[in-house]
Structure 1
Amino acid sequence: MRVLITGGAGFIGSHLAEAYLERGDDVYIIDDLSTGSMDNIRFLQEDPRYRNKIFVHINTILNHDMMLELTGICDVVYHLAAAVGVKTILDKPLESIVTNIQGTEKVLEMCNKFKKRVLIASTSEVYGKHTHAPLVETDNIIYGPSSKFRWSYAASKLMDEFTALAHYRTNGLEVIIARLFNTVGPRQTGAYGMVIPSFVAQALKNEPITVFGDGTQTRTFTYVKEVVTALMKLMASDQAIGEVINVGGVEEISILDLAQRIIDMTGSTSTIQLIPYAEAFGKDFEDMQRRVPSTQKLEQVTGFAPDKSLDFILSKVIEYINRR
């Protein structure tokens, strides 16, 4: 099988590419390296087993001719290319909206032209300001005002979902939407505000761990290799077509407790420093207090749901950052 991965040089994309190559498939990657990195996939390019199996194009998904060629060649498409991280959204709001909305429109246009099955990577951010748990795919959406640009990311990803589902209902395009909950693991960088690699890096240097807000906000983290398994199983499932499906982990933790657990696991002498949101991100930021997924639908559709513990995930990230 030939697999196209937009954003394939990114954190999740590189793990997905690796999994398909290990299975014996051909992998085509398009990435503009705005947040991805060749470091994530170079070892795959240099592996003699994959010499004629991996094809990397440094380009934008807005390039019509390039997307026409790649989509026509491949059997299935994973659309992972997107603006990444809170910092990126707040620093480059217009670019982020264009990337998310126009980029997804282009991918769907090409997939519809060639009638190729496509999986759209969405995000738990689309749920907005809910405080109940677990979040299920049919929950209402609750956002803050448009003056708070944090919500532009959630709204743009929700628009991607609407566009994909419209293609399914109007054109019969085989689309699958996966809402990812805080994917974590080796190769993830803290450069775009990702909390676990940032905390681990600070702890290993015995620097103060910077917690934004009061630290009572909670998250559920998902191990990247389990996310990849879920995505591959969703792509292979006819039951997933035309559906929105959560992909998330099992353990809810407050950010303050997360910082302390990382200190304990690394044997760090770091202290915890609370930084007000306004100081960290400016006036355009508003946080989500809680994010816990229901993975019941994922399990029903694929027979699989992530179950790796937070300690397991943290140990893998600590090991990776220590090595680097």
Structure 2
Amino acid sequence: MKILITGGAGFIGSHLAERLLQEGNEVYVIDNLSTGRLENIEAFKDKPNFHLNIGSVLNRELLDKLISNVEQVYHLAAAVGVKYIIENPLLSLKTNIMGTDNVLEFCNKYKAKALIASTSEIYGKNEQIPFSETDDRLLGSTHISRWGYGCSKAIDEFLALAYFREKKLPVVIVRCFNTVGPRQTGQYGMVLPKFIKAALLNQPLVIYGTGEQTRCFADVSDVVDAFIKLMNTPECAGEIFNVGTTESISITDLAQKVKDMCHSKSRIEYMRYEDAFEEGFEDMMHRQPDLTKIKNFIGWEPKHKLDHIISRIIDYYEK
């Protein structure tokens, strides 16, 4: 098939592109390289069935041209990372909302099936874990920049479901929980690559907040498997799916695990959220997905455990 990946030079997008190329598809990528990197696609950028377009999903003319030529669109382009979103609030909102609206409009125009990448941030401060896809959302004040991201992705979901209901556009929504693996950078606040890089350099591992907050880290190869199976299962159209793992760990325990596995002399330090981000910053204490729905629909379960994932990232950084 001919397939477009928006944000295809990003961390997840590049792994998805690589897998789709291995399966014999013709892959088109659009990426403005704001958080994506050319080195992510270095290994396959010269393949004859790979086509890179440097540009934004806000460029309607370019997007129209690209989607007119494909059968499927994986829409991963978005403002990502807490640090990036707080530093670029206006661009983040426009990219997430207007970019998704553009993608859905042209997918509908050319009858291309779409997968829309959403986020676990949708659930906000809800503490009733694990989160299932129909759970209520509990968001903080609009004065806190980070909640704008979750709201923008919620609008993306509403748009996608509206296109499905009104226009019969086949679209699948995936709510990604912390996805990690080789090629991910800690530059925009992603905690695991940031810890590993610091540990390998024997630099302090800095934890924001108390470190008691818990997260679940899924391997990018498992996430890519889920995306492709969901996209190619007709019954999944018009549905929302959590994609992640249920293996939970506190951030303090994560830092200690990384330190041990890297044989590092790093100190573990703590920093107030306000000092790291902005005054009044809020975080969710626990974030864990209920994976019952995705297992029932496509039989998908994550294969990789955290220790193996950390080992893969350590190998990547060492190389």
TM-score (norm 2): 0.99
Distance in 2, matches of 1:260 and 1:43, equals: 33
Structure 1 runs (4+) greater than 4 angstroms displaced: none
2:60 is matched with which residue? Answer: 64
Decide whether the 8 Å contact of 1:250 with 1:309 is kept in 2.
no
- Please say if 1:13 is aligned against 2:9: no
In the TM superposition, 1:201-220 aligns within 5 A as 201-220=197-216
Report Cα offsets for 1:184-224 as digits up to 9, x if no partner: 00000000000000000110111110000000010001000
Which of 302, 305, 312 in structure 2 is aligned with 1:309?
Answer: 305
Distance in 2, matches of 1:168 and 1:44, equals: 34
Unmatched tracts of structure 2, length 5 or more:
none
1:322 is matched with which residue? Answer: 318
- Please say if 1:141 is aligned against 2:130: no
Which of 271, 284, 302 in structure 2 is aligned with 1:275?
Answer: 271
Decide whether the 8 Å contact of 2:179 with 2:217 is kept in 1.
yes
Count of paired positions: 319
1:300 is matched with which residue? Answer: 296
Distance in 2, matches of 1:132 and 1:271, equals: 33
Distance in 2, matches of 1:64 and 1:134, equals: 38
Distance in 1, matches of 2:128 and 2:257, equals: 24
Decide whether the 8 Å contact of 2:71 with 2:111 is kept in 1.
no
Deviation at 1:40, TM superposition (A): 0.5
Letter paired with 2:35: T
Deviation at 1:284, TM superposition (A): 4.9
Deviation at 1:250, TM superposition (A): 2.8
Which secondary structure state, in structure 1, belongs to the residue aligned with residue 131 of structure 2?
A: coil
Letter paired with 2:209: G
Unmatched tracts of structure 1, length 5 or more:
none
Report Cα offsets for 1:252-300 as digits up to 9, x if no partner: 0000100000011111011110000011112152101110011111111
Deviation at 1:87, TM superposition (A): 0.5
TM-score (norm 1): 0.97
Distance in 2, matches of 1:305 and 1:295, equals: 8
Deviation at 1:102, TM superposition (A): 0.3
Which secondary structure state, in structure 2, belongs to the residue aligned with residue 119 of structure 1?
A: strand
- Please say if 1:239 is aligned against 2:232: no
In the TM superposition, 1:217-232 aligns within 5 A as 217-232=213-228
- Please say if 1:84 is aligned against 2:67: no
Decide whether the 8 Å contact of 1:82 with 1:99 is kept in 2.
yes
Decide whether the 8 Å contact of 1:121 with 1:180 is kept in 2.
yes
Distance in 1, matches of 2:281 and 2:58, equals: 28
1:156 is matched with which residue? Answer: 152
State percent identity of aligned pairs: 50
Distance in 2, matches of 1:284 and 1:38, equals: 36
Decide whether the 8 Å contact of 1:121 with 1:179 is kept in 2.
yes
Report Cα offsets for 1:38-84 as digits up to 9, x if no partner: 111121023xxx3x200000011111221111101001000000001
1:109 is matched with which residue? Answer: 105
1:43 is matched with which residue? Answer: 43
Decide whether the 8 Å contact of 1:219 with 1:255 is kept in 2.
yes
Decide whether the 8 Å contact of 1:119 with 1:177 is kept in 2.
yes
- Please say if 1:54 is aligned against 2:34: no
Which secondary structure state, in structure 1, belongs to the residue aligned with residue 294 of structure 2?
A: helix
Deviation at 1:307, TM superposition (A): 3.0
Distance in 2, matches of 1:284 and 1:54, equals: 45
After superposition, the CA RMSD in angstroms is: 0.8
Which of 115, 118, 139 in structure 2 is aligned with 1:119?
Answer: 115
Report Cα offsets for 1:129-159 as digits up to 9, x if no partner: 1222211001000000100111000000011
Distance in 1, matches of 2:98 and 2:15, equals: 25
